[in-house]
Amino acid sequence: MTAAGDRRVVITGIGVIAPGGVGVKDFWQLLTDGRTATRRISFFDPSPFRSQVAAEVDFDPELHGLRPQEIRRMDRAAQFAVVTARQAVRDSGLEFDALDPLRTGVTIGSAVGATMGLDQEYRTVSDGGRLDLVDHRYAVPHLYNYLVPSSFAAEVAWAVGAEGPVSVVSTGCTSGLDAVGYAAEVIREGTADVMVAGATDAPISPITVACFDAIKATTPRNDDPEHASRPFDASRNGFVLGEGAAVFVLEELSVARARGATIYAEVAGYATRSNAFHMTGLRPDGREMAEAIRVALAEARLDPEDIDYVNAHGSGTKQNDRHETAAFKRSLGEHAWRVPVSSIKSMIGHSLGAIGSIEIAASVLAMTHHVVPPTANLHNPDPECDLDYVPLVARDWRTDAVLSVGSGFGGFQSAMVLARPDRDRR
Amino acid sequence: MSTAQTGSFTDDDLRRILREGAGSDESVDLDGDILDSTFEELGYDSLALLETGSRIEREYQITLEDDAVSGVRTPRELIDLVQQRLAARPS
Amino acid sequence: MTARAVVTGLGIVASNGIGRDAYWAATLAGRSGIGRITRFDPTPYPARLAGEVSGFAAEELLPSRLLPQTDRMTRFALVGADWAFADAGIRPQELPEFDMGVATASHAGGFEFGQNELKALWSRGGQYVSAYQSFAWFYAVNSGQISIRNGMRGPSSVVVSDQAGGLDAVAQARRQIRKGIPLMVAGAMDSSICPWGWVAQIACGRISVSEAPDRAYLPFDAEACGYVPGEGGALLIIEEADHARRREAPQVYGEIAGYAATFDPRPGSGRDSGLRRAIEQALRDAEIPPDGIDVVFADAAATPELDQVEATAITGVFGPGGVPVTAPKTMTGRLYSGAAPLDLAAALLSIRDGIIPPTTHVRLADRYEIDLVRNAPRTAPVRAALVLARGYGGFNSAMVVRAPT
């Protein structure tokens, strides 16, 4: 066994559910076509709300192998997690039944847990909000699984047979980066050899739409849903809510090599910092995100110039896109103007805790195909956002190392460096 | 008491709604002469203003457009804005 | 050499005592905080007892501006962090901002805040939902608010693994210390004693329906009939050992010496729970043999099957009656994520004072071969303690704390 300290962590399996496509192939096709999956909300009548657009997934759980009882007891976000975990396991070619279950763990990120299930159940037990003393006799038997989203990690652990460290990481909109970062650390420190890690969220529910309406964080561009998500564009006016999941198989490098696994990328560096400023606000200087990027690069033993592509948070709110543009300049220096930067939220919306993992998937696929996905709907950049955001059209581009970042409510700023394991390191 | 029914919006209405929706900074005398202080000086951030705007809209049944509220800097400006909307309300 | 993580400050909120000294005095005296729910009328529900925190005056302890935007559990967390810093003799604004991080666990987020906004949404409409709902209920809120209040710009994280999460958060803090962050606030505060939270908790089928506060929560008793939920928890200041020494910290309670987490085999597999393996791995991690552990703070689920699993795991590692076992949570109820950090605090105070707090009201059932510290505290030198925590679904975490060296 490789000694702790020398242990390196690689991605050997990918599963994705995203708006516009279930599975890696459809997901990557949508991104490289530059198509958008945003539309008028169909899950409920959105007309009472300020923002009426979202990026919804067309998902039939039965079609993806979930049994009726699993479907009944799992919130949609848990269903996403289990289906993508199974995709990732299949993709990895790893024989999970032959693994030591105690050396196999699960980390699932989620910002808002079983929001859809809770919203529906509250409506029922409160009889449409009429009862203060909500009626337990109308509750579903699995309501506790909605209450505590660690049930998501439990479901995945059962699905893959993991009996090592299992947990949910919930750091708002950086959950998807932080969950993979957490799992990589668990392997690196020697606690586990294989981790099934990623993130899921299915927040498209009246309570979520209402709470973002209240702070005008989501776009009111209801007359043009397909072009509603406009990161870095001067006309951007809020993010588009999305849903989905991405889950990966992470392994220690030498073990993956020994079994001849297809290695997508190394989780080469990761860090998170807090802005300690405001629960929803960002300081314009991007200082804490820049610090997270600096530490992640140092951990990867790479220089800013080694980064071939930056997968941005790019949510499409006024403050975010300027904040992170400043953070890139602060951390990457002159290279910030040279490296392609793009936001896939322009196509698949912002799925809160899930998006960080979905963006890792996009970053890894960019390395696999040497293609950088575009920023859709970017016709007229904000003058304060003056980097190369790969507008509208995907770009053929030699990509051996990617920086992916996230920023979220609570002040969390996270950065991950994904790179080919055989690269030159400082 | 709310003056919503009488169709006017006073500085005391604003004080009450600020306290209910956003609390008040211990270093600020909200009952003092606050009309021309900025909300920032009074310890209120953008979230506090959004919450305050939303409470005013609900209580007074008026609509405050996004840009209108975000452009307001002081209590006096907010009170003037609300008064204008109240005056424009069909009776 | 690997950096060592030591605990230098404690902030405690529990139903039998608010603040470190009040909690510890009540716990040694065997005073329970369990009673009939007062925060809403529990009459319609099958379960009516809880460990409610009363007399917590948030409006005196926190700025007024924070109150409309915080759930009860966040108020506990902000005040708990303040007290932990004060106990550690630290003014966070005087430390380098990137040198401090936060690691909390959450069980259900700010559920009462969420309840009120769901009610506003469904009874009156979306425009009645608060501007603070977007973060006040979510699982990450306590880490975010603590970092903001104290200017902590280092790494922050949040784990959710039901009741086991409290230890997982402290372990995450130790990980950050080992990666070079000098100081972390770690632990958890939870509270979901509101009608909507109550209904969701009842659904797990493990809540005691007894109406007698002294007969309701009886782990390892033949009459075990489920647990009583409580609210509160503990936040700990965790420091790199040399950092604490250099700044001459007023006290070092002990070291986070070992930790492990396992997950039970999937239901129906017929294989044993992973709890015993978590204990064994945590001891190995601490490099302490079983006979080096002076007390075990049990998870104490108080259902016959789960008590059996825990007693079997403990006797499997330590031998029948091989180590004193206690469950002071019989006085506070189970605090979900908050429970294990509170047990860690109690374990560290046991180390400090050489006294093991009791398990109250329990008559030990014959089938459990454990040395349960019952009714009265037991004087004994405590050099190392093991804290256990389990979460619904199969989460097992174990942590070893040992006396400062």
Question: Do C183 and C45 fall within a single domain?
Answer: yes
Of A380, A261, A383, nearest to A322 by C-alpha is: A383
Q: Is A281's Cβ below 8 Å from some Cβ in B?
A: yes
Of A204, A164, A171, nearest to A186 by C-alpha is: A164
Question: Do C154 and C263 fall within a single domain?
Answer: no
Q: Residue A426: pLDDT above 90? A: no
User: What's the length of chain A?
Assistant: 426
Q: What is the pLDDT of residue A94?
A: 96
Question: In Å, how far are A6, A8, A190, C287 from A1, measured between CA atoms?
Answer: 10, 12, 9, 20
Question: Do C267 and C395 fall within a single domain?
Answer: yes
Residue C364 lies in a domain: yes
Question: Do C233 and C121 fall within a single domain?
Answer: yes
Residue C107 lies in a domain: yes
Helices (H), C225-287: 241-246, 275-286
Tell me the pLDDT of chain A averaged across its residues.
97
Average pLDDT over residues B17-45: 95
- How far C203 CA sits from the closest chain A CA (Å)? 6
Contact (CB, 8 A) for C186 and C103? yes
- How far A65 CA sits from the closest chain B CA (Å)? 44
Residues of B in contact with C63 (CB under 8 A): 23, 25-26
Instruction: Report which secondary-structure segment, H or E, holds C384.
Output: strand C384-391
Enumerate neighbours of C (3 or more CB pairs within 8 A): A, B
d(CA A225, CA A223): 6
Sign for the CA dihedral angle at A371, A374, A380, A381 comes to negative
Please report the residues numbered 325 through 344 in chain C whose beta carbons come closer than 8 angstroms to any beta carbon of chain A. Answer: 336
Question: In Å, how far are A127, C131, C163, C211 from C48, measured between CA atoms?
Answer: 22, 33, 21, 7
Question: In Å, how far are A159, A351, C312 from C141, measured between CA atoms?
Answer: 30, 18, 37
Q: What is the pLDDT of residue A285?
A: 96
d(CA C141, CA C110): 8
Of B60, B10, B52, B53, nearest to B35 by C-alpha is: B10
d(CA C212, CA C35): 8
Please report the residues numbered 98 through 137 in chain C whose beta carbons come closer than 8 angstroms to any beta carbon of chain A. Answer: 98, 101-102, 106-109, 111, 114-115, 117-127, 129-131, 133-135
Q: Residue A1: pLDDT above 60? A: no
- How far C110 CA sits from the closest chain B CA (Å)? 18
Please report the residues numbered 363 through 392 in chain C whose beta carbons come closer than 8 angstroms to any beta carbon of chain A. Answer: 391-392
User: What's the length of chain B?
Assistant: 91
Q: What is the pLDDT of residue B1?
A: 46
pLDDT, one tens digit per residue, over A326-354 is 999 999 999 999 999 999 999 999 999 99
Residue C354 DSSP label: T
Question: Do C176 and C296 fall within a single domain?
Answer: no
Domain final residue pick, C246, C267, C300: C246
Nearest CA in chain C to B17: C68
Q: Residue A92: pLDDT above 50? A: yes
Question: Do C200 and C280 fall within a single domain?
Answer: no
Residues of C in contact with A112 (CB under 8 A): 138
Q: Got the DSSP string for C185-221?
A: EEEEEE---SHHHHHHHHTTS-B-----TTTS--TTB
Instruction: Report which secondary-structure segment, H or E, holds C149.
Output: helix C141-150
Question: In Å, how far are A119, A391, C302 from C203, measured between CA atoms?
Answer: 16, 50, 16
Q: Is B87's Cβ below 8 Å from some Cβ in C?
A: no
pLDDT, one tens digit per residue, over A239-283 is 999 999 999 999 999 999 999 999 999 999 999 999 999 999 999
d(CA A238, CA A235): 10
pLDDT band at B8 (very low <50, low <70, confident <90, very high): confident
Q: Render the burial of C288-305: b for 16+ CB within 10 Å, e for the rest.
A: bebeebbbbbbbbbbbbe
pLDDT, one tens digit per residue, over C214-269 is 999 999 999 999 999 999 999 999 999 999 999 999 999 999 999 999 999 998 88
Residue C251 lies in a domain: no
Q: Residue A8: pLDDT above 90? A: yes
Contact (CB, 8 A) for A367 and A310? no
Residues of A in contact with B50 (CB under 8 A): 214-216
The interface predicted TM-score (ipTM) is 0.97
- How far C16 CA sits from the closest chain A CA (Å)? 25
Q: Residue B89: pLDDT above 90? A: no
Question: Do C238 and C268 fall within a single domain?
Answer: no
Of C78, C77, C119, nearest to C231 by C-alpha is: C77
Contact (CB, 8 A) for A215 and A206? no
Of C199, C270, C185, nearest to C234 by C-alpha is: C185
Domain span holding position C83: 5-246
Weakly modelled stretches of chain C, pLDDT under 70 = 1
User: What is the third-level CATH fold of B11-88?
Assistant: 1.10.1200
Q: Is C68's Cβ below 8 Å from some Cβ in B?
A: yes
Tokens 């979230």 correspond to B47
Please report the residues numbered 36 through 75 in chain B whose beta carbons come closer than 8 angstroms to any beta carbon of chain C. Answer: 43, 47-48, 50-51, 54, 57-58
d(CA A248, CA C34): 44
Is residue B37 left, alpha or beta, with left meaning phi > 0 and alpha meaning psi from -120 to 50?
A: beta
Of C64, C68, C128, the CB nearest to B58: C128
Of C41, C154, C158, the CB nearest to A169: C158
Residues of A labelled catalytic: 173, 313, 350
Boundaries of every domain in chain B: 11-88
Instruction: Report which secondary-structure segment, H or E, holds C89.
Output: none
Total number of domains constituting chain C:
2
Q: What is the pLDDT of residue A21?
A: 86
Of C129, C134, C263, the CB nearest to A164: C263
Question: Do C87 and C153 fall within a single domain?
Answer: yes
Of A123, A130, A213, nearest to C123 by C-alpha is: A130
Tokens 């439990």 correspond to A154
Residue C91 lies in a domain: yes
Go through the domains of chain A in sequence order and give each one's CATH number: 9-258 (3.40.47.10), 269-419 (3.40.47.10)
Q: What is the pLDDT of residue C1?
A: 59
